Structure 1
Amino acid sequence: MLTVIDHPLVQHKLTMLRMKETTTGGFRRLAREISLLLGYEVLRDLPLEPVTIETPMEEMQAMQVQGKKLCFVSILRAGAGILEGMLDLVPAARVAHVGMYRDHETHEPVEYYFKAPEALEERLCVVVDPMLATGHSAAAAVTRLKQAGAQQLKFVCLLAAPEGVKAFEAAHPDVPIYTASLDRQLDENAYILPGLGDAGDRLFGTK
């Protein structure tokens, strides 16, 4: 259930994103660009249905995305850096927010906010967060979405650690993971190595 998207442009931009000298503005721009590219792959299997339209020349049968508009789910706060690129790709998508922070002592997720559109059970929900480190926050967010009715889910991140993938798959074996890189491991503070640092701090210039 793990897909590493190795498109050359994704890998090139990820290399630039990792560099410690990349500025806040550059980091934000690159995260947005990478997430748009990831979105093409993540949404490759969207169902289509025929529709009759008129071009300036004649009437024709064309294809459009079937069903209710999909929902992007941002895990706050760092998920916002991925959400923007996804919305560039699908501007009409609905958006949900799950507020999660990681307790720095226990490394366990704590929920502080949840807001989602109606009819989640009829939508594909694409959960976005830059990092899959311990996997606890992502798993908790998906659990919360399932409780709210979501049935079709995918998880998208820039980087994943093996420990996070294992924990997430144990909690949600039915939810596929898409990432630009499976990194080596977590350190003693549950940061991904080699990683790219704290994605939230680098996105928002808070450190």
Structure 2
Amino acid sequence: MRLHVADHPLVAHKLTVLRDRNTPSPTFRLLVDELVTLLAYEATRDVHTRTVEIETPVTAAQGVKLAYPRPIVVPILRAGLGMLDGMTRLLPTAEVGFLGMQRDETTLEAITYANRLPEDLSGRQCFLLDPMLATGGTLVAAIDYLLQRGARDVTAVCLLAAPEGLKVVEEFVGDRADVSVVVAAVDERLNDKAYIVPGLGDAGDRLYGIV
């Protein structure tokens, strides 16, 4: 597993405002969108391309376009949905799948309640979107879901990660697949309720309110 922490002053600035408990939901949603676009730039550095010939107004030239099969972006519902626009802004031709997962607050295990994904992901670059990598359980379950469908190239884009969760993901992945994790920051630890410290609270609730 490869870890990339986006080290950029704009990332740090937007993350600071996200962490502030006084930031209202509309501002929070806007900043998540902007921050994910910055993270997507880092996450797509190795996106597959193909060489093409074009004609500029001056002469013939060689360039690149995204290769086939197209990459697929998979937000983990519900909080990952708030990251979708920021990701597809850089990958507008990508397909979009959906994976509904939630954490059992007693066992801390991930429960899958919905999916809208192709049965065969062989040869596809997959981008998972989930704001918080806390215990790692949800992300591991999501990665496993993709691997069972043939994916071998998975990049997870998260706002924050805890060291404990990163360790869980790394131990699960091993040498099974090419997995990268792109985050805005790695925080200190998890508390006794498995929340990231200092974190930013429950990302889903802050995006959409408490349901």
Q: TM-score, normalised by structure 1?
A: 0.95
- Residue 193 of structure 1 pairs with residue 197 of structure 2: yes
Shift of 1:90: 1.1
Match of 2:45 in 1: 44
**1-structure distance, mates of 2:136, 2:48:** 29
Match of 1:178 in 2: 182
Conserved? CA contact 1:95–1:117, under 8 Å: no
Moved more, 56-65 or 88-97: 56-65
Shift of 1:59: 3.1
Q: Which amino acid is 2:81 matched to?
A: A
Q: Which amino acid is 2:5 matched to?
A: V
Q: Which amino acid is 1:172 matched to?
A: V
Q: What is the DSSP-based 3-state SS (H/G/I as helix, E as strand, rest coil) of the residue aligned with 1:144?
A: helix
Gaps of 5+ in 2: none
Deviations 1:162-193 (A, max 9, x none): 11001111111341211111001111111100
**1-structure distance, mates of 2:108, 2:133:** 13
**2-structure distance, mates of 1:103, 1:118:** 26
- Residue 144 of structure 1 pairs with residue 148 of structure 2: no
Shift of 1:82: 1.3
Pick closer, same or farther for the CA change 1:117–1:57 going to 2, 3 Å.
farther
Shift of 1:49: 2.3
Q: Which amino acid is 2:125 matched to?
A: L
Q: Which amino acid is 1:85 matched to?
A: G
Q: Which amino acid is 2:12 matched to?
A: Q
Conserved? CA contact 1:121–1:152, under 8 Å: no
**2-structure distance, mates of 1:34, 1:142:** 23
Deviations 1:23-66 (A, max 9, x none): 10000000010100001111112233221222334432222222
**2-structure distance, mates of 1:57, 1:109:** 56
Moved more, 125-134 or 66-75: 66-75
Q: Which amino acid is 2:11 matched to?
A: V
**Matched positions, count:** 207
Shift of 1:142: 0.6
**1-structure distance, mates of 2:80, 2:49:** 28
Conserved? CA contact 1:155–1:178, under 8 Å: yes
**1-structure distance, mates of 2:12, 2:103:** 28
Moved more, 168-177 or 83-92: 168-177
Q: TM-score, normalised by structure 2?
A: 0.93
**1-structure distance, mates of 2:10, 2:52:** 33
Conserved? CA contact 2:132–2:160, under 8 Å: yes
Match of 1:35 in 2: 36
Q: Which amino acid is 1:93 matched to?
A: A
Q: What is the DSSP-based 3-state SS (H/G/I as helix, E as strand, rest coil) of the residue aligned with 2:87?
A: helix
Q: What is the DSSP-based 3-state SS (H/G/I as helix, E as strand, rest coil) of the residue aligned with 1:121?
A: coil
| Identical pairs, percent | 48
Conserved? CA contact 2:25–2:206, under 8 Å: yes
**1-structure distance, mates of 2:139, 2:48:** 26
Q: Which amino acid is 2:203 matched to?
A: A
- Residue 75 of structure 1 pairs with residue 76 of structure 2: yes
C-alpha RMSD of matched pairs (Å): 1.4
